[in-house]
Structures are given as C-alpha cells and as structure tokens.
Amino acid sequence: MGLTGARLAALSAGLLGLLAAALLAGLALGSAGFDRELIVQLRAPRVGAAAGVGALLALSGLAMQVLLRNPLADPYVLGTSGGASVGALLTLMMGGSLWLGAGLGALAAGVALLALTRSALAAGEDASPRLVLTGAMLASLCGAIATLLLAITPDQRLRGAIFWLIGDLSGAQGGAACGAAALLFVIGLSWRDTAIDRLLLGSEVAALLGEPVRRLRLALLVSASLAAGMAVASAGAIGFVGLVVPQALRLLGVQRTRDLAWMSAVGGAALLTLADLVARTVVAPLELPVGAVMSLVGAPLFIAVLMRGPR
C-alpha cells in the first residue's frame, strides 16, 4: 500500500531537508575549519561531485531493480560498477577517455548480465537467487580482471589506482555533469512511470497492457549502465548506494515510480554526501575511502534484505 498524500509530503520535506543539511555540513565541516577560499575551491566541487554521483548510483540501482524485478539489484553488487572500473582502467592504460571507457565497460557488464539471466527473468520471482548469484559472479570476474590490470600498473600510479577503485572523492571531477545526467534520468523515469510500474508486474502483463517491453527494458539497461559508468568515472567504484536508497524508500511505503525516481536521486545525493563527510572527518587529517564507508552500511543491509527475501 502506498503512502497517503500527507505522509508522502512529510517524507518529501524530510528528504529535501536531509539533503540541504548534508550539503551545508559538507561545505562547512572539515579539518581546516570554515575558510571561504577552501570552501569555494576544494569543498564545493567535492560536495557537488558526491551529490551528483550519489544521485546517479541510486537511480541506477532503482532502474536495475525494475529491469530485473529484484530488490537486491545494484550496480556494485551485480557487476556493472566492476565493468565500469575495468573499462576505465583499460582506457587509462591506453591513454583514452576515462568517461568513455567507464561507460562502455558498464554497458558491456549490463548486457552480459541480461544475457546470462534471460531465462531466469522469464521464470519470474522464483529466479531471484539465480539473478543475484549470476551478478555476484560477474562482479567477481570484473574484480579479478581489475586486479590483473593493477598488477601491471606502474608503481607510481598504483596507490592512486587502488584508492580510486574502492571509491575516492578527494579528486572527483564532473559533479555538474553527474547532476545534469541525474536530472535527465529522473525526467525519463517520470515520463515513463506508468509503463515502468506495469513492467514490475511482469513482462507478459506489461505486454498485454500495450507496453513496448523490449524497448523499455533496453532503455532501462542503457540508462542504468551509463549512469553507473559516469559515477565510476567521477569517483571510482562506490557500492551499495543503489541498494540502500530505493530499498529504504520502499520500506517507508513509497511505491510509484514517479515518486521513487526523484526521491531516490535526493536520497542518494544526501547519503553519499554524508558518507564522504564521515570519510574525511572521522580520522582527520587522514581520509578514509568513501567506498569502504558505504560498504560498512550497505553490506549488513544487503544481508538483511537477502535473509528476508523468501518472505
């Protein structure tokens, strides 16, 4: 059952307030205190990148959950982020475009996952464990390839590459581009919200209701993969944002795609901004990788949701 109008409005106001508080805290707090030049030149780009990347990851997770009809779908868990990391490492070694390599790598991983689980998708909800296991193996394969690539990375670049692969916002760029892409993603999901809601009922039901199922699934796959690729190219492989945010919203009673789209973007932006704030202040002046901080939150939630799955 969905939320009533009053409860939905209250939740919306709370999410927007949380995002505003996270942005202000990210700009104001830090080891060097409140310094205008520091805020403008260093913190503002980093906070903007965290918000844009978080929004993209949450939207990518939401789209993959619709595409696979599985609440455990997430670009990190199912290997899309791993594919983006491999593509980015390859282009870095060849001197190509980081954004292009990450996008193509994420898209290739998404296509591979869809192809490997085609029969499972047709089998319905009982195939959920197979989907999760296939995605986990794909993620493991991408991780192994990335490790082999790191083994031949020059020593002077090795530490930075490792730190980037586990999620690092210290040198993140492209916050404005990520934010604009997230806005376009929200508009696209909201525009096709009825069709997406019907797709959640199953491909056959959606087709009977007149929806172009193949075209819709292809659009979701491409959008989710490119969003994950942009996020990885900007800040490295940060996990579980796409799992935590949509799941939390659904547990709170948000059901319609129109509401889930913009709320996931806002929630993802707020969550990653707060995680980055923790990563750079908890042991200041040292910084923790934000990907590790997110995993400390996401991994227990993933286990909890997986254990609740059969019910």
pLDDT at 306: 62
Question: Could you tell me the mean pLDDT of each successive run of 10 residues in the chain, 311 residues long?
Answer: 74 90 82 64 84 93 86 81 85 76 84 76 58 82 87 71 75 82 93 88 80 84 86 84 88 87 94 89 80 81 64 46
pLDDT in the model for residue 46: 87
Q: Does some domain include residue 24?
A: no
Q: What is the pLDDT of residue 265?
A: 94
**270 in a domain, yes or no?**
yes
3-state DSSP assignment of residue 157: helix
Tell whether 37 is covered by a domain. Answer: no
Q: How many CB atoms lie within 10 A of CB 40?
A: 11
Number of folded domains in the chain? Answer: 1
What CATH number corresponds to the domain at position 83? 1.10.3470.10
Going by C-alpha positions, the residue among 244, 277, 275, 245 that lies closest to residue 259 is: 245
Which residues span the domain enclosing 125?
53-308
Q: Of 78, 80, 103, nearest to 90 (Cα)? A: 103
- Residue 293: inside a domain: yes
Residue 276 identity (one-letter amino acid):
D
Classify residue 46: in a domain, yes or no.
Answer: no
Q: Is residue 42 part of a domain?
A: no
Q: Helix H segments across 69-174?
A: 80-94, 98-116, 118-123, 128-151, 155-165
**What is the pLDDT at residue 163?**
67
Query: Max Cα separation, the chain?
Result: 60
Q: 47 in helix, strand or coil?
A: helix
The predicted model scores a pTM of 0.86
Is 161 part of any domain? yes
Instruction: Say if CB 302 and CB 296 are below 8 A apart.
Output: no
Give me the pLDDT at residue 311, please.
Answer: 46
Rounded CA gap, 52 and 309, in Å? 30
Classify burial at 37, counting beta carbons within 10 Å of its beta carbon; exposed 0-12, middle 13-18, buried 19 or more.
exposed
Query: In the prediction, which pLDDT does 29 show?
Result: 73
Q: Tell me, what's the pLDDT at 157?
A: 67
Q: Which residues of 164-200 are buried (b: 16+ CB within 10 A; e: fewer)?
A: bbbbbbbebbbbebbbebbeebbebbbebbebbbbbe
Residue 136 tokens, joined: 């986990």
In a domain, 262, yes or no: yes
